[in-house]
Amino acid sequence: MKVIILAGGFGTRLSEFTDKIPKPMVKVGDKPIIWHIMHHYAKYGHNDFYLALGYLSEEIKKYFLTYQSIQSDFSISLKSGDVNFFNPTSLNWKVNCIYTGDATLTGKRISKLQKYIGNESFLLTYGDGLSNVNIEDLVKFHKSHNKMITLTAVRPKARFGELSIDGNKVVDFKEKPQMAEGWINGGFFVIEPKFFDILGSENVMLERAPLEIAASMGELMVYKHDGFWQCMDSKRDYDYLNDLWNNKDYKWCE
């Protein structure tokens, strides 16, 4: 499946870094967080990526345009421009970098990629969250219920909003204070192309009307993930993820 990664936000709560680079380019270890997300999907055979870019999009474009030359030794003919890589990267990824506007909201960013996705089921996640969610099991679950959308629900520490869940169905999608169960939207969606009809052409947040409408239609299902999940939303999150990396505790690689 094609994988959309939302990578266009301003990342204002990580201003220590995002004055110069977009949040998906903030590093965990020696790689940007978006690289770790892509690596996780590729592990399950999903390596056709569509990056919905916005703020400082040129930084993400430059990273992937120069990835091969930075990661490898090479020789170059200055006359012809021919390049020979001595140890080319083994990553078999196709990376499509699509600028979707600086101030565009998440729902509109997705709708702008419809022409690239076509009439296919697709995967979607945010460019700032790491998890060890089993993508193969997630896709199998999605195919089993024949609904429009599956999102991955996670249970981090209580500082987010909450999903209202009945069994494996989302009955209410509201960003309200967490209650007893504490399940929240962790990204890692599987989506059918008819969702583009709900998104329409308005500049809307995915997490507001579009998902609320899908939930009210009974078309939003949830895959409960009790394993590792961590977003990078603050300096505290950055420190936590990099502490894990420095201690070789790669929880999102399990």
* pLDDT tens figures, 68-104: 999 899 999 999 999 999 988 889 999 999 999 999 9
Whether 43 maps to a domain, the answer reads yes
Pairing verdict, β 161-166 and 169-177: antiparallel
> pLDDT (tens digit, 9 = 90+) per residue, 198-240?
999 999 999 999 999 999 999 999 999 999 999 999 999 999 9
pLDDT at 211: 97
Average of per-residue pLDDT across 11-31: 93
Report if residue 254 sits inside a domain. Answer: no
Taking alpha carbons only, the member of 45, 43, 48, 21 closest to residue 33 is 21
pLDDT 10s digits, 2-19:
999 999 998 888 988 999
Residue at 252 is within a domain? no
Question: What's the pLDDT score for residue 207?
Answer: 94
Query: Encoding tokens for residue 13?
Result: 């709560």
Tokens of 77: 């003919």
Q: Is residue 220 part of a domain?
A: yes
Question: Has residue 91 been placed in a domain?
Answer: yes
In a domain, 147, yes or no: yes
pTM above 0.85, yes or no: yes
Residue 54 φ then ψ, to 5°: -150, -105
Whether 206 is covered by a domain: the verdict is yes
Q: Could you give the number of structural domains in the chain? A: 1
- CATH code: domain of residue 226: 3.90.550.10
Residue bearing tokens 């076509």:
118
Both structure tokens of 48: 């056709």
Domain span holding position 107: 2-72+83-247
For residue 18, the model assigns a pLDDT of: 92
